[in-house]
């Protein structure tokens, strides 16, 4: 992964995994719908903050990808926040079309698991 232009004050707050990445949860800004989970390094976060387009690091292809550049299913960034530990990023977006690569609205639509425990 190349070097980054991320603001050092933000970079200092990030707690990255051994691979230099943090999970980035994409959430629809107006409904609260959880859309997908991606991965960001410092540069992906910098690009997300400065372009207004959600940018992720592809672990399988080892390259940056901007959500929607090939599919047209764009994520326009509304806000970005770090969790209290600095080890997860919440990207609130306005999602156009499907968020999941399978064509589903969210990556969590297809396989709900049964919950049988008492509340």
DSSP per-residue string spanning 16-35: --TTS-EEEEEEETTT--EE
Query: The domain containing residue 49 runs over which residues?
Result: 8-95
Residue 63 — pLDDT band, cuts 50, 70, 90?
very high
**Residue 86: which CATH number?**
3.10.20.810
- Model pLDDT for residues 31-57, shown as the tens digit of each residue: 999 999 999 999 999 999 999 999 999
pLDDT at 58: 94
Tally of domains in the chain:
1
Tell whether 118 is covered by a domain. Answer: no
Tell whether 3 is covered by a domain. Answer: no
When pLDDT is averaged across residues 65-89 and rounded to a whole number, the result is: 95
Closest CA to 27 of 38, 35, 37, 19: 35
Cβ-contact 36, 56 below 8 angstroms: no
């Amino acid at each position: 992964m190349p070097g980054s232009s991320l603001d050092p004050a933000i970079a200092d707050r990030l707690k990255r995994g051994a691979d230099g990445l943090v999970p980035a949860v994409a959430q629809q800004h107006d409904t609260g719908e959880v859309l997908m989970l991606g991965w960001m390094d410092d540069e992906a976060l910098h690009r997300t903050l400065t372009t207004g387009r959600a940018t992720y690091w592809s672990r399988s292809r080892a390259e940056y990808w901007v959500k929607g550049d090939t599919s047209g299913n764009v994520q326009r960034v509304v806000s970005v926040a770090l969790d209290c530990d600095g080890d997860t990023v919440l990207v609130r977006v306005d999602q156009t079309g499907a968020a999941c690569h399978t064509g589903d609205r969210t990556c969590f639509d297809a396989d709900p698991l049964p919950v049988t425990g008492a509340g």
